[in-house]
Structure 1
């Protein structure tokens, strides 16, 4: 299969925002082509909570492995989380425990992506606090 066809399919699955798209996308999380991984990340981010369990399971499995594919997979999961907190800020609490763990990853790219998620989450929480109406006592 040509990478552009696979990337387009991943994009289309994300547009469905359906439970039936979660498993097919999981097989592409560690794909060698970065464009495909990016489309998978965006698709999962759009799906929100539906993909959280699969992402956590994929990250946990990749945490145990040392192959390049495992690094791609962990990096893709962090990319999903970065996009997910943008689309679904209410899921920040669900993704942070795994993100904090990724800060100790052996791969610097995974660590950097995890740090971006933490930073973006902190920005969003700070903004949310500053926009919240003050509670008069």
Structure 2
């Protein structure tokens, strides 16, 4: 069995946050993070890696580089539902970590690129209006 690098463990340790705070911010369970920290999970799931790194405010390009350490392909449209599922489990109750909307915007751009969207308009507020190649 291949032993993967402990990249994610080093990032978690270097964050200066405890596992519970990371769990709350990422939506990844305390149990999973604990097993990961103890080396009981050799190859974490792509969605888990991404959710943890998003919670720690990594950019999409940095996340893709780390995913390559675990022999995963870069993020694509098919990955988004699992990441969003983790995101819905987040329990941010205070100012533990800064959450940057640009990361989620970058995730949206990954999806748009994959489905061939060439133009889109962004309106102020939480709603993005999309225009596919064939619209006026």
TM bucket normalised to smaller: 0.3 to 0.5
| Bigger share in strand | 2
Q: TM-score, normalised by structure 1?
A: 0.40
Q: TM-score, normalised by structure 2?
A: 0.40
| Bigger share in helix | 1
With a CA cutoff of 8 Å and minimum separation of 6, indicate the structure with the bigger relative contact order: 2
